[in-house]
Homo-oligomer: A and B are copies of this chain.
Amino acid sequence: MQEDVPKLDPQATRCPIPIVGYDRILMAHGGGGRLTHQLLEKVFIPAFGNPLLNARHDGALLDVGGVRLAFSTDSYVIHPLFFPGGDIGSLAVNGTVNDLAMCGARPLYLSAGFILEEGLPIEVLQRIAASMQAAAREAGVQLVTGDTKVVEKGKGDGLFINTAGIGLVDSGREIQPSRVKPGDVIVLSGDIGRHGVAIMAAREGLAFQTTLTSDCAPLAAPVQSLLLSGLDVHCLRDLTRGGLASALVEIAESSQTGMVIDESCIPLDDQVRGACEMLGLDPLYVANEGRFVTLVAPQDASQAVRILQQHSAGRGALIIGRVESGPPGSVVQMNRLGTRRLIERLSGEQLPRIC
């Protein structure tokens, strides 16, 4: 990595596109990028705003009866229901398990809410339930409560699943964007973009075929190894909607720091690279379901990489950048040719319904 990063004008990190002006929901409001952020800022935070929600973490950290819990939820609307490397059921378990893990919690219990479209073959539901149970067993969690609703044909799309999860956080542990500070090292757990590209390949009408499979996997085990090692882990974030780029921008904004990453360090499968080039996608923004970043104190970075590499989901772990003092909220990528690129939140929608 180069050491000299230009001081950017803080104004330049602001969104040049007006963030008001839409009066109806667009697909991009669900894409995890700028419009999702706007919905949070303009609708949900003003309505529900409270310190717990304002922390903008992957889940809420709660004190319940003297015990520290993480609590998180996600709805899954992925299309198609089955894809190379997983299905909506394994995704619904791993996604919420991973959100809990990113809070520094040991995931314990999940709920599952199903919204079924009239006409869904019951055999499909059975396969997905079996997949959820297998994923839950692998991740070490139990599905303990649930609900089923049915909507008329044409008012849903086969099957949507919501999962919410509860995890236990060891006392004294603080995994929060607010703990990120200049000097921290950014560790990435492996190659990026496989989930999003595998979903595209699985959809009808795409002009390419790959042998790629989604990276969908539970991340609780590598994260627990990191935490139990005693390393000073400041923040964790999985790279779902909006990809690596959006995750880093969110952390930089929440922690009011700047970040620098080195493009040449970021691992890409050749098929992901090829598909992204062909389709005009930026792999930095493509969703993953089994990848995350860890921000650690500089003296702990090498050890963090070694610990992650002992897990299948962290086999390709490596250092990709570091945290700087500013400008607050900026993420800069040092490119192969020595140029610098300011990374922004995903604008618009790269791949709809990838989770």
A interface residues with partner B (beta carbon < 8 Å): 22-31, 36, 39-40, 42-44, 47-48, 50, 52-53, 59-60, 62, 64-69, 71-77, 108-109, 111-123, 125-126, 129-130, 132-133, 136, 142-152, 154-157, 160, 162, 164, 166, 168, 352-353, 355
Instruction: Point out the residue from B25, B64, B160, B355 that lies within 8 Å of A166, measured CB to CB.
Output: B64
Instruction: Point out the residue from B23, B36, B52, B149 that lies within 8 Å of A75, measured CB to CB.
Output: B149
With a cutoff of 8 Å between Cβ atoms, the chain B residues found around residue A50 in the complex are: 142-144
Asked if residues A118 and B149 are in contact (CB atoms below 8 Å), the reply is: no
Asked if residues A26 and B168 are in contact (CB atoms below 8 Å), the reply is: no
Asked if residues B47 and A151 are in contact (CB atoms below 8 Å), the reply is: no
Asked if residues B156 and A155 are in contact (CB atoms below 8 Å), the reply is: yes
Asked if residues B126 and A47 are in contact (CB atoms below 8 Å), the reply is: yes
- What residue of chain B has the Cβ atom nearest to residue A68's Cβ? B65
Given contacts A24-B121, A43-B129, A65-B67, 18 further A-B contacts (CB under 8 A): A25-B118, A25-B119, A36-B148, A43-B126, A47-B130, A47-B132, A48-B146, A52-B144, A53-B143, A53-B145, A62-B144, A69-B166, A71-B166, A73-B113, A74-B113, A113-B113, A113-B164, A115-B160
Instruction: Point out the residue from B71, B117, B152, B160 that lies within 8 Å of A145, measured CB to CB.
Output: B71
With a cutoff of 8 Å between Cβ atoms, the chain B residues found around residue A117 in the complex are: 25
